[in-house]
Amino acid sequence: MATTRNVAILGGGHTPWGTREATWKDLAQEAGKATFDAVPGIEPSDVEGLFVGTVQPERFANQSHLAPLVGELLGVEATKMIARTELACASGQAAIRYAWLAIAAGQLDVALVLGVEKMNLPGHMAEAHSSMLNVMDREFDGGNFSNAPPFFALVAQRHMHEYGTTREQLAQVAVKNKNHAAHNPYAQFQREVDVDDVVDSFTIAPPLCLFDCSGITDGGAGVILASEDVVREVAQPDDVAWITGSGQASLAGNSMNNLPSFSSWPQATIAAENAYEQAGIEDPLAEIDVAEVHDCFSISEIVEYEALGWAEPGEGGQFVEDGRSALDGDIAVNPRGGLLGMGHPLGATGVSQALEIVNQFKGAVEPARRVDDPSVGLTHNLSGTASVHSILTFAREVPR
Amino acid sequence: MTAEGDRDRIELPDTIELPRLLDLFDLQTAEYTGIAPFYERLAEGRLSTTRCADCGEVHFPPRVVCPGCLSDDLAYVDLPDRGELFAFTEVRAGGPVGFEDDVPFVVAIVDLGDVRLSTRIDDARGEDLAIGDPVELKVVDVVGPADLERVWFRFVPVAD
């Protein structure tokens, strides 16, 4: 691994997620305040790099040049580096990734990463559906009015067709994650559900029902990243999340016309193998304690078990059915509540996932969804037609 | 301070013409797009795409540069007008702006041999379809707001 300096996430903060009576700018300010409030020892004046993950503010908020706007809103003078990142649903992780690389490369010592999305426009729900179709090939997928739910319905249909994955197994992912979210005060959906609730919810695009789908969500989240020198000044080095590995892959395809598979995600496998190698993870199932993976739809998490090397191809459904991704399973998957329970304010999701790993390491989450003494964590995002997969690994122990 | 009734006003238009950015369909003539031959052929009822004259790769969607070898020596070739359903679903909610009431509609991946393309299946409900079913090309007109004739392609079920 070629990075030169250790980098950790010190901590961060969160806005309530859901349908918010708030503008993009309101959410950015709330998330920024929550972040600085949660990280004693770091003030806005300490921040040298500012990275803002947000996907569609040009459409949902009619606003560009978001990172300097956040600087103005939070009184942050970015004297070393500033950028907005857009990688569709992985934009928040992309922002963390660039902050990490800038610090690891010695360009700066302290970065604020903020993920923000405003998606609910009262009376204009269709705007969100339109904005989900232009992350594919707008001309050749959008012209068919295909957006995220039908695309992932096709994946579910193929996975069921090829492997015999069941409707109930899809529902079990939603039940697990939504029942975690029921204990997360920041979640959009805080109601416990059972398998019947999921399969009986409104059918969006067979086989996917409403509860198989993440929400259309307003929200923000923020984290502070720092170099090892700064971490040792302002925090205990075993009370943070050190970034230990990264993997990211995209295989010359984005449109639904040019994907390598509809039932597996080889990009995720490449990303996971690279991240595991960098982090020194030889047996992910035994070594990873907590993972926040991109369950934008219930089927996504099942395919991810397989692509990330936790289950054999076709056995992802059995993996959740057997409880191996439960809080007390082999890997606690999505204790935050996942996208299915938390909702999915696009650019904020990756940031919130990383914050969850830090908070799980600190033991600072509600007892009903707390993982027992975790020391190794992982976050995963897919974006677009699952054409890109992005993975970061974390450890409580300072990397050597 | 000006009394409320006497203030100057900023008047917004009641309606704004659909901006090009919000139009799901590209302008299709050579004045606007490098793949105008695709649309010209489609208007004649032929589904076509580009094939690289240098490396032989068949693309879909059609390109102006070959993603296989970066050659720009591409030729248009017809695609079969019949194929098989590889995957499909029926969208029952979530149409884009302007098409909120267009549901339900069927989206699908159709296998045409050289390419596997995303499309819509007209004249069918999802419950009537199965993976492997034969489907046939159908060309549709795209009407308004651009003052240009535009076309798009869909597929329909066909007897074996």
Q: What does the block give as tokens for A52?
A: 């803002």
Q: In whole angstroms, how far apart are CA B92 and each of A146, A153, A384?
A: 12, 12, 21
Residue A274: per-residue pLDDT? 98
A143 touches chain B (CB under 8 A): yes
ipTM for the predicted complex comes to: 0.95
| Chain A contact probe: residue of B39, B63, B107 with most A CBs at under 10 A | B107
Please state, in angstroms and rounded to a whole number, the distance separating the CA atoms of residues A194 and A210.
13
Q: State the helix-helix crossing angle for A298-307 and A148-163, rounded to 10 degrees.
A: 60
What's the gap between Cα A368 and its chain centre? 21
Are A334 and A328 in contact by the 8 Å Cβ rule? The answer is no
Give the count of beta carbons closer than 10 Å to the beta carbon of residue A65. 10
Q: State the helix-helix crossing angle for A298-307 and A266-279, rounded to 10 degrees.
A: 50
Please state, in angstroms and rounded to a whole number, the distance separating the CA atoms of residues A310 and A325.
10
Burial of residue A282 (CB within 10 Å: 0-12, 13-18, 19+) is exposed
A126 touches chain B (CB under 8 A): yes
Residue A3: per-residue pLDDT? 54
Residue A382: per-residue pLDDT? 98
Interchain proximity A257–B91, CB inside 8 Å? no
Q: Residue B125 above 60 pLDDT?
A: yes
Cβ pairs A/B, distance under 8 A: 106
Interchain proximity A149–B94, CB inside 8 Å? yes
Q: State the helix-helix crossing angle for A66-74 and A24-38, rounded to 10 degrees.
A: 60
Strands B134-142 and B82-91: antiparallel
Strands A208-209 and B134-142: unpaired
Where would I find the H helices in chain A? 24-38, 57-60, 66-74, 91-104, 125-131, 148-163, 167-181, 195-200, 228-234, 266-279, 284-287, 298-307, 316-321, 338-342, 346-362
A184 touches chain B (CB under 8 A): no
Contact residues, chain B, for A255 at CB < 8 Å: 61, 118
What percent of chain B has a predicted confidence (pLDDT) above 90? 78
Contact residues, chain B, for A262 at CB < 8 Å: 86-87, 109
Amino acid at B157: P
Sign of CA dihedral B89, A306, A90, A167: positive
Q: What is the 3-state secondary structure (H, E, C) of A231-276?
A: HHHHCCCCCCEEEEEEEEEECCCCCHHHCCCCCCCHHHHHHHHHHH
Please state, in angstroms and rounded to a whole number, the distance separating the CA atoms of residues A26 and B109.
41
Q: In whole angstroms, how far apart are CA A175 and each of A141, A195, A269, A305, B17?
A: 31, 6, 26, 16, 44
Interchain proximity A150–B107, CB inside 8 Å? yes
Print pLDDT tens along chain A (400 aa).
445 899 999 999 999 999 999 999 999 999 999 999 999 999 999 999 999 999 999 999 999 999 999 999 999 999 999 999 999 999 999 999 999 999 999 999 999 999 999 999 988 888 888 888 889 999 999 999 999 999 999 999 999 999 999 999 999 999 999 999 999 999 999 999 999 999 999 999 999 999 999 999 999 999 999 999 999 999 999 999 999 999 999 999 999 999 999 999 999 999 999 999 999 999 999 999 999 999 999 999 999 999 999 999 999 999 999 999 999 999 999 999 999 999 999 999 999 999 999 999 999 999 999 999 999 999 999 999 999 999 999 999 999 8
Q: Residue B19 above 70 pLDDT?
A: no
Strand order in the sheet with A290-292: A81-85, A49-53, A110-117, A219-227, A7-14, A241-250, A388-395, A376-383, A290-292, A332-333
Nearest to A147 among B25, B94, B131 (CB): B94
Residue A122: per-residue pLDDT? 85
| Chain B contact probe: residue of A144, A210, A250, A264 with most B CBs at under 10 A | A144
Q: What does the block give as tokens for B122?
A: 């007209």
Q: How confident is the model at residue B45 (pLDDT cuts 50, 70, 90)?
A: very high
B146 touches chain A (CB under 8 A): no
Q: Which helix (H) or strand (E) holds A382?
A: strand A376-383
Mean local confidence (pLDDT), B55-63: 98
Q: What does the block give as tokens for A357?
A: 């790993």
Residue B15: per-residue pLDDT? 80
* Phi, then psi, of B137 in degrees rounded to 5: -60, 145
Interchain proximity A255–B102, CB inside 8 Å? no
Q: How confident is the model at residue B97 (pLDDT cuts 50, 70, 90)?
A: confident
**Is A389 noted as a catalytic residue in this protein?**
no
In a 3-state reduction of DSSP, which class is residue A303?
Answer: helix
Are B65 and B92 in contact by the 8 Å Cβ rule? The answer is no
B32 touches chain A (CB under 8 A): no
Residue A1: per-residue pLDDT? 46
Give the count of beta carbons closer than 10 Å to the beta carbon of residue A328. 9
Give the count of beta carbons closer than 10 Å to the beta carbon of residue A354. 29
